Chain A
Amino acid sequence: MRELRLSLPASGPKAWSSMTSPEYIYPEGAAAFPHNGLVGIAGLAPHEIWFLLDEAQQWVELNRNAQKRREVLSGLTIINAFFENSTRTLLSFEIAGKRLGADVVNMAVATSSVKKGETLIDTAMTLNAMRADAIVIRHASSGAVQLIADKVDCPVLNAGDGQHEHPTQALLDALTIRHAKRAFNGLRVTICGDILHSRVARSNILCLTSLGADVRVCAPPALMPADIERMNVKVFHDFDAALKDADVVMMLRLQMERMEGQFIPSPREYRHLYGLSMERLAKAQPDALVMHPGPMNRGIEIESDVADLAGRSQITTQVEMGVAIRMACLDVLTRKGRKAEGWA
């Protein structure tokens, strides 16, 4: 199986240092990641992003062994509080916590007291009183994770809040790109889809521009947020122009309910203008990566032959990197509580 996977450099994080620009170099030890939680990419310095990517590298390698468990977080309790439906991200966080030896508990909305009218703050205080060592939160409202993070004592990880941020998605995307491309400076990344409603787009824009990439965003005007160019990106409405010479093409999922006339006349019209086909992909660099945070609408925003294109499509690699990134985040953010090395 291993030879089918993306090839990794022989050595660990040190291999990157030759292409690392000065702003990525992080101070050794205590100050490498001086944050109590991960609410967003906003507020992270480039070297802090880089530190998390380096930390994830060991877990990528571990996850490719038959024996995948390390007792790093043994005895710790991690609560995954998902106020919005999720399958993939929840599974990814659960696997990440379990591989590090933590006791992982999932709180699903359907069975929780949130449905009984309990406020978000009261739910947060309840989770806090249960002495969790880390809480992973997904919520449908922008800012909800920050609200909880301000009220609890343990580290809080944002697994997506409304249309605000989804930081671990951006980190796993950066790790995926780093494996394949090795350098971010000047890298042309095209993000296409429902930018307006996408927390993935916002976190990726912040992360990739912070690492030095040239980010282009492409969407019809109704799905493009105002003043997005102030986030240091180039704005396109013409997908073909946005694809020209791109090194990475990131497609976003378009929610079906947005394609029924309010934002887009119809799915097939969206596909006509913004679907990634082989012909369109040819406008990008010959070795351009194809990425998608999933779940995909095959035949709408991305054609099946593109999604499955060997050597170019990174969609399954993204999922693999997701577990490693989440392991790194859980490890790094609980170091203070564990009094582990890496935190003074």
Chain B
Amino acid sequence: MSTHAPLTIANGRLLLTGGEIVSGALRSEGGFITALGPDVAAQPGDTVHDAAGKLITPGLVDLGVFEIDKPAFHFGGITRAALMPDQSTPLDIPSRVRFAAQSGKPDFWVHPLAAATRELKGEALAEIALMRSAGARAVATGRHWIGDSGTMLRLLHYTAMLGMVVIAHAEDGGITGKAVATSGEMATRLGLPSAPAEAEALAIARDIALAELAGAAIHFRNVTTAAGLDLVRAAKARGLAVTAGVSPAYFMLSDLAMAQFRTFAHLSPPLRCEDDRKAVIAAVADGTIDVIASGHDPRGPEDKRLPFADSAPGMAGAETLLPLTLNLVRDGVISIGRAFDLLAANPARLLGADAGRLAVGAEADLAVIDPERPWIVDSDKMAASAGNTPFDKQPVQGRVLALFKGGVTVRTKKVRPA
């Protein structure tokens, strides 16, 4: 495997599975964690990184990004990302999946998501088993919902047989149509094409019913409404293999962020009302939401400097994923341990990757972070390939100081003395 020297991260605080934090060190060899705890010491010949008392955590696993944007992922402490099939040529044949799976190595791992249907049209099933052999870890419907219930049922039967989870976009396309906003006062005042938020619950209700019928596992990439979250909560209570994710924008912002036609706040699904924003926070707290992901989708001026309805949806989210999630820790919504379950352990488990946790034998994807370190988001100075963030000029806390992929240093940030 790795030809690099073994790595020891010393003098840190280790965030263990279960959320316990202990002072100590971590050692990795051949790309895997070999020892961790208070008594671990560097061996002769090791590359030694002094964590200076900061938090040693797993590298983040970002479930559902639209572009491989390594500088942004590394800035944000992300060591693995599941790539959505919505590329310029969709990931709907094995060769493209194989290429995508190699495209980040060695310092970043891409887990391609196989397109559920050919050309993502929602009609004919794609070659999912061949794509699995080519490296696809899960299946995704793409940016859109599969409108035909029969197709969706056949897909879920097939993925259940293959043991793959389907990552679904939950918006009823018949209701959303060309909508770019959630129906409500804001969309009405701005005169934007809008659809009721219930489009999400309708899609989730159908897909849960079909998944139950097929005995399939389904993950909703973004559940953003109270009604949708209630359906997921109920399905989990019935013991179904239903999981849910969300991006920080949906617990940080409401549709008010669209004021002045700010296209950086044009997201898919669109931003919701304040009550839904609070429901997302409650669902993160009570365990209904399993994954927080960036939905990283960098878009330049040619896509964003347009009238709102003509602009492309999406935000560059990789750099702000960690600090915005840490807001929930500081607000007492979740513990730091649960934050990393949402950011690393749970998405890794859904992808079937032995990563996202600090344990002997797991892959040594590691970050040293300062959860309190303040900085200001600046869309002009982002590492991402475009600066389309609705959090521009917003002060945040939490910064990655060093990042390691497979026990090899990816980046270290010079720490100014406090």
Which residues of A approach B to under 8 Å, CB–CB? 42, 119-121, 139, 141-144, 146-147, 161-165, 199, 202, 225-228, 230-231
Contacts and interface: CB of A to CB of B under 8 A. Distances in A.
B356 to A, nearest CB: 40
Contacts of B184: 226-227
A144 B309 CA distance: 9
A146 B189 contact: no
B259 to A, nearest CB: 11
Contacts of B251: none
Contacts of A199: 191
Contacts of B196: 226
A142 B189 contact: no
Contacts of B188: 202, 225-228, 230-231
Nearest to B307: A141
A146 B310 CA distance: 14
A144 B192 CA distance: 12
Contact of B192 (A42, A142, A147, A231): A142
A231 B189 contact: yes
Nearest to A145: B307
Contacts of A121: 301, 305
A141 B194 CA distance: 14
29 contacts: A119-B305, A119-B306, A120-B307, A121-B305, A139-B307, A141-B308, A142-B190, A142-B261, A142-B309, A143-B190, A143-B192, A143-B309, A144-B307, A146-B261, A147-B306, A162-B309, A164-B190, A165-B191, A202-B188, A225-B187, A225-B188, A226-B184, A226-B185, A226-B194, A226-B196, A228-B188, A230-B188, A231-B188, A231-B189
Question: B interface, how many residues as a size bin?
Answer: 20 to 34
Contacts of A119: 302, 305-306
Nearest to A230: B185
B390 to A, nearest CB: 16
Contact of A163 (B185, B192, B260): B192
B183 interface: yes
Nearest to A141: B307
A311 B193 CA distance: 38
A228 B194 CA distance: 13
Residue of A143, A146, A199, A202 contacting most chain B CB atoms (<10 Å):
A143
Contacts of B302: 119
A140 to B, nearest CB: 8
Interface string B189-206: 111111010000000000
Given A143-B307, A163-B192, 8 more contacts: A119-B302, A119-B305, A139-B307, A142-B309, A143-B308, A162-B309, A231-B188, A231-B189
A139 B305 CA distance: 15
Nearest to B258: A143
A142 B189 CA distance: 10
Determine the main DSSP class of A at the interface with B: mixed
A56 to B, nearest CB: 25
Contacts of B307: 120, 139, 141-144, 147, 161-162
Closest 4 CB pairs of A and B: A143-B261, A141-B307, A163-B191, A164-B191
Contact of B191 (A120, A162, A227): A162
A146 B260 contact: yes
Nearest to A148: B307
Contacts of B191: 142, 161-165, 199, 202
Nearest to A164: B191
Nearest to B183: A226
A14 to B, nearest CB: 35
Nearest to B194: A226
A120 B305 CA distance: 9
Contacts of A231: 185, 188-189
Nearest to A146: B261
Contacts of B192: 142-143, 162-164
Interface string B60-75: 0000000000000000
Nearest to A83: B307
Contacts of B185: 226-227, 230-231
B414 to A, nearest CB: 38
B310 to A, nearest CB: 5
A141 B196 CA distance: 20
A199 B192 CA distance: 11
Nearest to A143: B261
A146 B259 CA distance: 12
Contacts of B309: 141-143, 162
B392 to A, nearest CB: 15
The listed residue with most B CB atoms (<10 A of its CB), out of A161, A226, A230, is A226
A227 B189 CA distance: 9
B190 to A, nearest CB: 6
Interface string B283-308: 00000000000000000011001111
A250 B261 CA distance: 28
Nearest to A202: B191
A121 B195 CA distance: 28
